Amino acid sequence: MDWGLKNRLSKTISPKTGKTVMLAVDHGYFQGPTTGLKNPKEDLPKLLPYADSLFITRGILRNCIDANTNVPIFLRVSGGPSILGELSNEDITTSMKEALRLNSVGVGMSVFVGAKNEDRTISNLGRLVNEAEDVGMPVLAITAVGKDMVRDARYLGLASRICAEMGAHIVKTYYCEKDFDKVVEGCPVPIVIAGGKKIPEKDALQMASNAIRDGAVGVDMGRNIFQSDNPIGMIKAINAIVHKNVSVKEAFDIYKNEK
């Protein structure tokens, strides 16, 4: 792996623990003002000290995040449809030059395996990796799951492997109770999990813990952090699971004690 790419990756995946807590706040790119993220300028700064990187669009980055921040930036570079349209109809919306200008440590896009535009999103990923390799930029591929797709190990394993085959350096997918270790096994690059819809805090901590146990290198989590009644407690608890391997009970105490 080229030095620049390796160095950028090390800003997200801790060389000390081999793990990462990415804070996902890109939801507005198709959902608009999302609960917990309605005012990113106010909602986000308090969470940044506990994140290894921030997964964000350029618009919210420029307008809502202080440029003096130390948090490494992972830039969402795909988009197109809103929540009202055909979600798989995505293209690359942000250039590699822009990612470099914003001092990003990585770029991320969604692929929609099994959906209407799967072929276009997969070839977009291939093209993004070509551009990224030229400048040493890690690519995170996100296995977006369409309305009709089952989130089981077979589907998630298929989608994750395809992302790795296209050259993604990290894959973000969902956790599944059964055989998640097989999803990890079939994907030769590091996997992080998305949190998905808001669930009770203890369940979200359990999911993160299970994912780490099964081989994920961390999380790229959003709603289960910023929609919690205690977002700081929650990100601290997730951080302790990911980097310190604490038990779910200990992590839940961290979440509660922050209140």
Residue from 8, 11, 27, 161 binding ligand R5P (CB under 6 A): 27
Find the shortest distance in angstroms from Cβ 48 to ligand R5P: 16
| C-beta closer to ligand R5P: residue 194 or 234 | 194
Region binding ligand R5P by CB under 6 A among candidate stretches 8-16, 127-135, 221-229, 250-258: 221-229
Q: Of the two residues 68 and 124, which places its CB atom closer to ligand R5P in the complex?
A: 124
Q: Which of these is catalytic: 172, 182, 202, 236?
A: 172
Minimum CB distance to ligand R5P smaller for 190 or for 195: 195
Site for ligand R5P in 151-180 (CB under 6 A): none
Can residue 58 be called a binding residue for ligand R5P (CB under 6 A)?
no
Identity of the residue, 4 or 82, whose beta carbon is nearer to ligand R5P in the bound complex: 82
Q: Which of 220, 236, 254, 255 binds ligand R5P (CB under 6 A)?
A: 220
Known catalytic residue: 197?
no
The interface with ligand R5P within residues 119-148 (CB under 6 A) comprises 142
Query: What string of DSSP letters covers the chain?
Result: --HHHHHHHHTTS-TTTS-EEEEE--THHHH-S-TT-SSHHHHSGGGGGG-SEEEE-HHHHHHHS-TT--S-EEEE-EE---TTS-TT--EE-S-HHHHHHTT-SEEEEEE-TTSTTHHHHHHHHHHHHHHHHHHT--EEEEE---TT---SHHHHHHHHHHHHHTT-SEEEE---SSSHHHHHHT-SS-EEE---S---HHHHHHHHHHHHHTT--EEEE-HHHHTSSSHHHHHHHHHHHHHH---HHHHHHHHHHT-
Residue 73 engages ligand R5P in binding (rule: CB under 6 A): no
Q: How many CA atoms lie within 13 A of 125 on its CB side?
A: 30
Which of 129, 141, 145, 194 is in the footprint of ligand R5P by CB under 6 A?
A: 194
* Interacting residue ranges for ligand R5P, rule: CB under 6 A: 24, 26-27, 55, 142, 194-196, 220-224
